[in-house]
Amino acid sequence: MIELNDISQAVIEGNAKKAKELTLIAIEKNVPPETILHKGLVPGMDVVGQKFKNNEYYVPEVLIAARAMNAALDILRPKLATDAANYKATVVICTVKGDLHDIGKNIAAMMLEGAGFRVIDLGIAVPTEKVVEAVKLNKPAILGLSALLTTTMTNMKDIIEALEKEGLKDSLKVIVGGAPITEEFAKSIGADGYAPDATIGVQIANALIQGIS
């Protein structure tokens, strides 16, 4: 008998080997993949997020937990396919044009995936037009934009304006984050949410999709 709590615990402990083994056993025992995701992995990453927020976990602990989650997700993904019903919502995320900083965006992406979102990570230094294309193609509920530099955060505004021009802005919510970003800046460019860190980003994403639905 597989306890889904054990899968959660393996994620919390960052034990990738154990998370993978337990997931394989659960599949063999015919536990539905979506149950493993929502009752095993997501609660585990939720605890990780809380610990990160409370300064009990730091970047290394989050990264090893995310790696454990991914080890299990690699098994589940082909079985879950991209059926929208298996995910809370789709998030497109990237670091904006001119900015090559990766790790903050990566942690946010991992946390969102761990919270049950389908995450499409466009990478770093992504031009505005590529973001717009990705929005058209994937129809996300959330667009997450990251910038570390004072000189690149203005590109967030360009993206929001481009989405408005294309008539896409009303179909999604934009969350912004990164070292120089403030609540005031987020409001000034028309973003819907400001995430000082990845955990709060997940909380805002959850709140925003509830608002959308």
Closest contact distance (angstroms) between CB of 78 and another protein is 25
Residue 78 is a binding residue for another protein (CB under 8 A):
no
Please name the residues in contact with 20: beta carbons below 8 A apart, sequence gap of 6 or more: 71, 72, 74, 75
The Cα angle at residue 99 between residues 148 and 67, in degrees rounded to 5: 75
Beta carbon nearer to another protein, 42 or 96: 96
Beta carbon nearer to another protein, 127 or 190: 127
Size of site (CB under 8 A) for another protein: 28
* 125 vs 15: CA distance, rounded Å: 32
Structural contact between residues 14 and 67, judged by C-beta atoms closer than 8 angstroms: yes
Among 106, 110, 115, 156, binds another protein (CB under 8 A): 106
Closest contact distance (angstroms) between CB of 104 and another protein is 7
Residue 158 is a binding residue for another protein (CB under 8 A):
no
* 55 vs 120: CA distance, rounded Å: 27
* 205 vs 94: CA distance, rounded Å: 15
* 44 vs 8: CA distance, rounded Å: 4
Residue 2 is a binding residue for another protein (CB under 8 A):
no
Beta carbon nearer to another protein, 9 or 106: 106
Among 6, 158, 161, 197, binds another protein (CB under 8 A): 197
Tell me which residues touch another protein (CB under 8 A). 14, 55, 57-61, 63-64, 67, 98-104, 106, 125, 149-152, 179-180, 182, 196-197
